Amino acid sequence: MKRVPSRLRAPVVSFERWRRLPRWVRRVDAAAGRRINRRAVHPIADVGLSRLTRVADRGVLWFALAAVLAVVGSRRAALRGIGSLTAASMLANLVGKRVFGGDRPLLKDIPVGRRLPAQPSSASFPSGHSASAAAFATGVALDSPRAGLVVAPLAAGVAYSRLHVGAHWLSDVIGGTALGVGVALLGRLLLPVRPKEERGGPVESIRVDLPASPTGEGVVIFLNPGSGKSVVRADPERIIRRRLPDADMRVLSGDDDLAGLVDEVATGSTPPLAIGVCGGDGTVATVANRARAHGIPLLGLPGGTFNHFVRATGLESIDDAIDAVQAGSGVRADVAEVSFDGAEPVTVMNAGSVGIYPDLVVEREKLEKRLGKWAAGVVATWRVLRHAEPHEVVVDGKTMRVWSVFVGVDPNFSHTVAPMRRLRLEGGELDVRVLHAKSRIHAVGSLAFGRTTSAILRALRLVPLSEASTMFTTDEVELRVSSSRSRPAPFGRDGEAEADLARNDYTARLRIVPGGLTVYARQR
């Protein structure tokens, strides 16, 4: 028997609305619908809102935004947003619509330029799009208020678009929004938001006594004022000068040769007791490479956006780092060395990689001066994920077509194929993870969300059902890049792209160096 479209069943379901909804709600719905439909707007606005509501179908918009947030450093916010969205969508579509139901606005009342190519025929209350949008935005905001400020206007736009295209009544949108917000808040009660600055510490590291300097005497500290601008924190220079008044502070400019400055300090007439660096992972890696060469302990102060290595030493703040140098508390940490085409090796603190992540770094750096680091990261991630191409890489003699090859120092966070987060400072092995080429959306889901959330995406049939990744540990690995892509295939090292490798053909050999760096760490 042929199904009768819901639009032709208006009298029957109008009775359902009359039976289920108070009279005043139906009056408000009708008045809001008439006002929106009679309001003349530019045709571009009609097209834009229609496209916005369609790109939010099945949560595609929110999964894409979650991928962007995860890649630019808001992984927990992205996961909370996706979790809230999934729960709210299930409640709205599997429970709410079956319990409350109701017909949607009549198609004849909607201006032609606003109508969707295919009008939805499911029950009207509550709005699933509004529930998903509100749940995602609220979930993100609970974990990252700054990211929430970016997502909230888009979520509001999706909710309004459902009214503008005539897919829902006002009460449907309000009900869906309330459901989404409520689910996200309930999720916070069940899974409380963890403090951003969780206390950590080096695990099973080789503890050593390092030179203590209560006032900073004998310590040279390089400060990169351009690092960490996207993070709200106290001025590090003021704290350092107050607590280490005798330290030799060197504030860097954009044109300084940092490696040369460290060499100059280390080979001076009075070598320093320690060389400190306040900046991001790339700045720390540059200083650490030269400090290792001269056998001088490193003091890492978290002054960047992510601070992956410094946080692995248990130093979550500038004050933590100062406490460590004042007490002389340190460890011997594993590092890796990478050499390109047989050249002199350089130090790797956290990870080296080929694939989507270095592509993102290169694209972000093009936009950073104009947009700022956070906004540039969002735009760059969107561009790279839209146009990403797999790479041809030979991994230890095996030719592979891959989206990403990640080589981490010691065990890393286990749930993703590109974690960038060390769990230990010792272990004596490289953590190699290869994501083989399948679909682009498969690569995005695996790189951004990891195994758990990728399983959810597969269950919703938003990514392929199988996941092709290879993981192994070794003490040395060779990556030979020979890509046929139209663009270069850069190598990423500790959050930075190697400037000299803007080409498609090179060999990178990485090896572990157990206990290769002496560094100040949080006291036990």
Report the CATH number at residue 242: 3.40.50.10330
The total of structural domains in the chain comes to 3
User: Looking at the structure, do residues 378 and 445 belong to the same domain, yes or no?
Assistant: yes
Q: Are residues 382 and 459 both part of a single domain?
A: yes
The region that residue 11 occupies, defined by phi over 0 for left and psi between -120 and 50 for alpha, beta otherwise, is: alpha
Do 156 and 60 share a structural domain?
A: yes
123, 75: one domain? yes
Give the model's pLDDT for residue 441: 59
Point out the domain boundary residue: 121, 156, 190: 190
> Is 294 inside a domain boundary?
yes
Shared domain for 320 and 355, answered yes or no, is no
Do both 117 and 78 map to the same domain? yes
Does residue 522 sit within a domain? no
Do both 369 and 490 map to the same domain?
yes
- What is the C-alpha to C-alpha distance for residues 517 and 448, in angstroms, rounded to an integer? 30
Instruction: Tell me: do 183 and 310 sit in the same domain.
Output: no
Domain contains 505: yes
Q: State residue 461's pLDDT score.
A: 47
**What is this structure's pTM?**
0.62
Strands (E), 123-279: 206-209, 219-223, 248-251, 274-279
253: left (phi over 0), alpha (psi -120 to 50) or beta: beta
Answer yes or no: is 458 within a domain.
Answer: yes
Contacts of 127 (CB under 8 A, 6+ apart): 92, 159, 162, 167, 168, 172, 173, 175, 176, 177
Report the alpha-carbon distance of residue 393 to residue 90 in Å, rounded: 41
Task: Enumerate residues 6+ apart whose C-beta is below 8 A from 180.
Answer: 84, 85, 88, 92, 130, 131, 132, 133, 134, 135, 136, 137, 138
Distance CA 151, CA 443 (A): 23
Amino acid type, 171: S
* 218 and 180 fall within a common domain: no
Coil, helix or strand for 521?
A: coil
Q: Does any domain span residue 459? A: yes
* Same-domain status, 172 and 88: yes
Tell which of 293, 327, 361 closes a domain: 327
If phi over 0 gives left and psi between -120 and 50 gives alpha, with beta otherwise, what is residue 228?
left
- With a cut of 50, list the residues of the chain below it in pLDDT: 1-15, 196-204, 232, 451-454, 456-458, 460-467
Rg (Cα) of the chain, in Å, rounded? 27
Written as six digits, the tokens of 274 are 């320690």
Say which CATH number the domain at 368 has: 2.60.200.40
Instruction: Tell whether 201 is covered by a domain.
Output: no
Position 333 in a domain: no
Domain of residue 467: give its range: 351-516
56: Cα separation from own chain's centroid:
20
Instruction: List pLDDT tens digits, range 3-39.
Output: 444 443 444 444 455 556 677 777 887 787 778 777 8
428 occurs within a structural domain: yes
- In this predicted structure, what is the pLDDT of residue 198? 41
Task: Give the CATH number, domain containing residue 64.
Answer: 1.20.144
State the Cα–Cα distance between residues 70 and 76, nearest whole angstrom. 8
Reduced to 3 states, what is the DSSP secondary structure of residue 203?
coil
Indicate if 100 and 172 belong to the same structural domain.
Answer: yes
Whether 49 and 144 map to the same domain: the answer is yes
